[in-house]
């Protein structure tokens, strides 16, 4: 099957190598742990994308390892906000064009500032949503940082 999401098209245009991996979606479990098991990667290599709003910058995007929890204070500091809150689920699609469980930091409706946890450099390859539930992008962390023009920082803590 040749599914082309906005994220995949942008990577193609930028001549960035990636691999698309399909997996079966369980609507009752959209967790990173479930995705990691289905695509055969350790949970720390599967990155989840969270959409937040800063009191000064407005909408921002955070990418953190699947076994981590976003640290709002750290994200606020890195993004030059006093306060940051994760947006409500009903806002995710109107803001990004993506649905929960299929949010990619690449190819959103608008380009929002992207912040990635610096743990990303521990891996040669990571996986993140390709913009659809059931479809993951495998790519190099450096390429992800380049294509999203991301800023790195310690914005999450391990929870598992």
- CATH architecture group of domain 6-158: Alpha-Beta Complex (3.90)
Distance CA 7, CA 98 (A): 11
Residue 22: strand pairing partners: 135
Whole-prediction pTM: 0.94
Q: Give the sign of the dihedral formed by CA 25, CA 111, CA 113, CA 119.
A: positive
- 6-13 vs 141-148: helix axis angle to the nearest 10? 90
List per-residue pLDDT tens for the chain, 160 residues long.
Answer: 456 899 999 999 999 999 999 999 988 888 888 999 999 999 999 999 999 999 999 999 999 999 999 999 999 999 999 999 999 999 999 999 999 889 999 999 999 999 999 999 999 999 999 999 999 999 999 999 999 999 999 999 998 6
Integer angstrom CA distances of residue 120 from 22, 82, 87: 22, 25, 23
Question: What is the reported pLDDT for 2?
Answer: 53
How do beta strands 58-65 and 114-117 pair?
parallel
Helix (H) or strand (E) holding 61: strand 58-65
- Long-range contacts for 105-109 (Cβ within 8 Å, ≥24 apart)? 105/49, 105/61, 105/63, 105/144, 105/148, 105/150, 106/6, 106/7, 106/10, 106/11, 106/131, 106/137, 106/144, 106/147, 106/148, 107/5, 107/6, 107/7, 107/9, 107/10, 107/131, 108/6, 108/61
Contact 114, 107 (CB under 8 A): no
Question: What is the reported pLDDT for 27?
Answer: 83
Question: What is the reported pLDDT for 26?
Answer: 84
Distance CA 35, CA 25 (A): 8
Question: What is the reported pLDDT for 160?
Answer: 64
Among candidate residues 131, 147, 58, the one with its CA nearest the CA of residue 97:
131
């Amino acid at each position: 099957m040749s599914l082309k999401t906005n994220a995949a098209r942008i990577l193609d245009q930028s001549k960035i190598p990636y691999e698309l991996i399909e997996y079966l979606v369980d609507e009752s479990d959209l967790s990173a742990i479930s995705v990691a098991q289905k695509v055969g990667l350790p949970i720390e290599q599967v990155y989840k994308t969270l959409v937040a709003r800063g009191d000064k910058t407005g909408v921002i995007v955070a990418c953190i390892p699947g076994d981590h929890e976003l640290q709002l204070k750290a994200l606020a500091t890195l993004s030059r906000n006093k306060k940051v809150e994760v947006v409500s689920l009903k806002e995710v699609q109107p803001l990004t064009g993506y649905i929960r469980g299929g949010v990619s930091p690449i190819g959103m409706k608008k380009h929002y500032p992207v912040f990635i946890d610096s743990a990303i450099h521990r891996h040669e390859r990571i996986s993140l949503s390709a913009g659809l539930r059931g479809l993951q992008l495998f790519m190099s962390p450096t390429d992800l940082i380049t294509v999203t023009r991301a800023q790195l920082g310690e914005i999450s803590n391990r929870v598992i």
